[in-house]
Amino acid sequence: MVVCDRGDLAVGADGGDGLSAVPVSAAGYWRERQVTVWYPGSDSGTMVAMSDTEVSSDTETALVDAAVDALLADTDPSTMSAQEFRGHQFDHGLGWVHFDQGHGGLGVRPQLQRRVEERLRAAGAPGADPASFFLNLAGPTIHTHADEEQKQRFLRPMFTGEHRWCQLFSEPGAGSDFAGLATKAVLDGDEWIVNGQKVWNTIAHLADWGMLVTRSNPDLPKHKGMTYFALDMHSPGVEVRPLRQITGEAEFNEVYLTDTRVPDANRIGATGEGWRVSLTTLMNERTAIGTGGAPKRGSGAIASLVGVWNELPEDERTAVRRDQLMSLWIEAEALRLTNLRAGANRRMGNPGPEGSVAKLAYSNLNKAILEAAVDFQGPAGQVGFNYEYRRPEELSPTGAESGVGHAFLRVRANSIEGGTSEIMRNILGEQVLGLPGEPRIDKDGPWIDVPRS
């Protein structure tokens, strides 16, 4: 085995970052040190590179590799629909590898999911439908808190994309103060009658199921009188109305619940334990938004800025702009590597409050990158955008696929969705840094007695 240390590789020299048009001085704006492990190939005299995820040879890795080998031996992703293939992936324990066996997992450490995705993508297997983003939230919540029957009923169709999910948390009077929600659930036999309004519900118009949190006991303190349900979005009494955004789209919605009956069999967790169940959803949401899985270097919002730079006339590629571009690129790469390290350090279970770090940094960075992209374009960045009303069929956190103008407007939402930046700072201060919490006078008394606007 040979270890090769490449210490003088300039950014973009390998063609992988789209930055080849960025001048690099002799001193170097950016230098990368990359350790590559090489091993003898099957042909005599050849050497084959291994990625860092391929070097490990522990028991869990061997178990995952065997499951992937079996999946690809049994199925050909090129001959079936994405939904059908993902069903086989789930059945082989490769949906969420850290879940229990029989529920789409193998009971191994979660960072091995990246290894699975790398191998399956290399074999031509499809990824998840972008509109199925909420499986990253609902899946861990169901696995952690649901009973056996619910896991069997919900997890597989959620993973395959047969059932899409949405999140029904925020209300007009309970956004940042999520525990102050007022949507009422009253038990009536083996059903609950739900009345209330939810707001800012992404892709609710496409959803089959919703993660619904209600107020089931107004006489208890606000964190203790909440109950969590899986809501059939096609139930009588569920009305989804669009909320038009600054982009012209309406990917957000408001959902009205009028005497909607929810079977008690769809209650996730114990009655009154909705806050505890919700924390699993929220922590996974912040991690999903902040980390975005394992993106390739130079991808995401920064790719839009690099694209704008490469289209600029030579006389507009000033030293100041070049410095701004490289500063943002380095910041994006540092965040990507930080997220990869956090994922590698995570063992089993659900993510903790540290997910708020990535979410906050991601929100601020995306806005800075797209602001720079519009600034680089000058007056041309102010025209050519379509503000017509439309209902999206897919979900994109940055909107970069629709152009710089669209992305610049869409990322305004990054600092709100998944928890506002202000709330993220509170979580970081109190739960990560251990700073004293803000004074709160509404935590211990009955929710019904708390003044509300």
Is the distance from CB of 194 to CB of 256 less than 8 angstroms? no
Residue type at position 152: Q
Is residue 371 part of the annotated active site? The answer reads no
CA 20/CA 34 separation, integer angstroms: 18
Indicate the SS3 state at residue 383: coil
Tokens of 233: 């979005």
Burial (Cβ within 10 Å: 0-12, 13-18, ≥19) of residue 433: exposed
Phi first, then psi, for residue 221 (nearest 5°) are -55, 150
For the chain, helix (H) and strand (E) counts, in that order, are 12, 11
Indicate the SS3 state at residue 65: helix
- What secondary structure letter does DSSP report for 101? B
Tokens of 168: 């029904």
Is the distance from CB of 260 to CB of 194 less than 8 angstroms? yes
How many CA within 13 A on the CB side of residue 233?
Answer: 22
Indicate the SS3 state at residue 6: strand
CA 398/CA 95 separation, integer angstroms: 25
The pairing of strands 209-215 and 165-168 is: parallel
Out of 171, 251, 254, 285, which one is annotated catalytic?
285
- Report the catalytic residues: 285
